[in-house]
Structure 1
Amino acid sequence: MPSIILASSSKYRRQLLEKLEVSFSSAAPDIDESALPDETAQALVERLALAKANALSNTYPNHLIIGSDQVADLNGRILTKPGNHEAALEQLLSCQGQKVTFHTGLCLLNSETGKHQLKNVTTDVIFRELSAEQLDNYLRREQPYDCAGSFKCEGLGITLFSEIRSTDPDALIGLPLIELTSMLINEGAHPLN
């Protein structure tokens, strides 16, 4: 199996990739993650997933490089990592009773051949109607300030939702493992081999 590099410093993505029990290393790509003017959420995550993988291709010339990025789309407004309590509370308040679509861009780049596979995996989340006090309590308990959309669905954040719709349960956490497995198989790197 070719060597695998995860182009990410995210502990959440590393934990997810460990579920596949494949040997991998991780490295943080140095790219500008700002959205371009009028860029859609889907276009943004696909561009960034590919850019993250490409950023490491010269350093890791004979590897399968995984790039991934995620943003939330609330009625055309892109929600990213809030960074602090106030921004997180504002995000969660705006999501109350709304459907928010999470776009997770995934790229698998074969740096030897230069070929890549690219996919956007979407997850629709329906938020409950909660009070500002309940949201504040949630944020103080879990402090999800480094998570797109201001929650951790693998923890207490699950209480914020009335429904989740997705084809890949790990996409909402940040690395769609079903799609990644398909990409690895396409490269002859089946995790079960």
Structure 2
Amino acid sequence: MKLKDETLGMWLGVLGVAFFAVTLPMTRMATGTAEAPQLSPWFVTVGRAALAGALSLVFLLATRSPLPQRTQWKPLGIALLGNVIGYPLLLGYALRVVTASHAAVITALLPLVSAMVAAWVLHQRARLGFWVCAVVGSLLVVAFSVLRAQQQGHGFGFEWADLLLVGAVIAASFGYIYG
């Protein structure tokens, strides 16, 4: 029985969300903490890139995809810098200092920042209602997370690693828009 394109797309989307959901805890596990470091964030970044690159190469060869055209190299390079190097490397260093749940609060801003980058780079103009809802929704997620952490006695202080996480979010956003 062959899956319909919509059904296949849905399941691939669910799989993608599941993989993205474990990115933070798995990266934290791989890199360790500042007190008990494990693998280098550089090693984890290169390992992720090598695995993704190998799987992509197999797919591209199997589908006999053409090489990118000259005009596509710059956007591909920006996507590579943002998604293959910037996001995982900055995330790896940040997760040595903060917990995965702390990092999740900052990285939850990724959809909003991606929309902002798209508006800037692609000159897309969303309506005011979109921006109001996007900002209010993002603030609610952050506020809920901070309040929940305080209720559980964990607190939520800002760390220098939060700057690395903001950098990771910006890198991923540019990578998504150019990719």
Structure 2 length-normalised TM: 0.31
Larger Rg: 2
Greater helix fraction, Structure 1 or Structure 2: 2
Higher relative contact order (CA 8 A, sep 6+): 2
Greater strand fraction, Structure 1 or Structure 2: 1
Structure 1 length-normalised TM: 0.29
